[in-house]
Homo-oligomer: A and B are copies of this chain.
């Protein structure tokens, strides 16, 4: 089985990190292919970059010429999953949904710890649209930008643990979700210090995607995610 794991920003080192996290949890026989978008911003920290990433991820997957069995969109709280689902028959798993869905099996309420405060409403909106917000205790910001996570992982862990502890004591979270694709790989360190289960979306998405494939399940094509109708395009895709 081959699973495409698509980063939402154009920072190659982050794609590499996401790929490593995915491979670490993948079953024997699963090939992880980590892709960097063909165009876009070096990090997504708001709607403009996120909308750009949405279409970049779609075009990047369309440009991939080998067969594959599932796609993971590896940005937390980003736009675009619905478009991928229209374009593909194979399962599409967004790490936002994967992590929330996973967390709900482990505790009564979960909190998300993300990067900047400005990303919080985007994540809240995506969880609401995904129908996964009823058991979300809070979405909290660590105050670190996406690229800062990579620059200083120890500082990142400390900032995330700090918010995780507040989520547990004040918001009554019982599980913590790492709310950024760039946090892939920090889950073990956070879990050790926070004393509650910590879910990484990339790892969660890999096991869910594998499970869907093994069950022979594919994206429903009857309505919302029906294949796009034929269109005439102007100036698209870019040369």
Distance, CA A86 to CA B45, complexed state (A) = 11
A40–B233 contact, CB under 8 A? yes
A82 at the interface (CB under 8 A from B): yes
Distance, CA A97 to CA B125, complexed state (A) = 16
Q: Point out the residue from B58, B93, B145, B226 that lies within 8 Å of A229, measured CB to CB.
A: B145
Given contacts A105-B208, A228-B48, contact A217 B199 (CB under 8 A): yes
Separation in Å of the A231 CB from the closest CB of chain B?
4
- Give every chain B residue within 8 A of A224 (Cβ-Cβ): 47, 107-109, 118, 121-122, 174
B49–A231 contact, CB under 8 A? yes
Given contacts A218-B106, A236-B52, A238-B238, contact A231 B43 (CB under 8 A): yes
Distance, CA A11 to CA B109, complexed state (A) = 32
**Chain A contact residue count (CB 8 A cutoff):** 92
Distance, CA A230 to CA B93, complexed state (A) = 29
A63 at the interface (CB under 8 A from B): no
Given contacts A46-B226, A106-B219, contact A39 B210 (CB under 8 A): no
Q: Point out the residue from B40, B133, B175, B211 that lies within 8 Å of A220, measured CB to CB.
A: B175
Q: Point out the residue from B47, B91, B122 that lies within 8 Å of A85, measured CB to CB.
A: B47
Additional 8 contacts, C-beta under 8 A, given A42-B234, A47-B83? A40-B235, A42-B231, A51-B55, A52-B236, A79-B79, A118-B224, A120-B223, A210-B211
17 contacts between A and B (CB under 8 A): A27-B214, A38-B235, A39-B238, A40-B236, A41-B232, A41-B233, A47-B224, A48-B83, A91-B106, A106-B219, A121-B224, A130-B135, A131-B132, A131-B134, A197-B220, A210-B211, A238-B238
Residues of A within 8 A of B (CB): 10, 25, 27, 37-43, 45-52, 54-55, 58, 79-80, 82-83, 85-87, 91-93, 97, 101-102, 104-109, 117-118, 120-122, 125, 128-135, 145, 168, 172, 174-175, 195-197, 199-200, 203-204, 207-208, 210-212, 214-215, 217-220, 222-226, 228-229, 231-236, 238-239
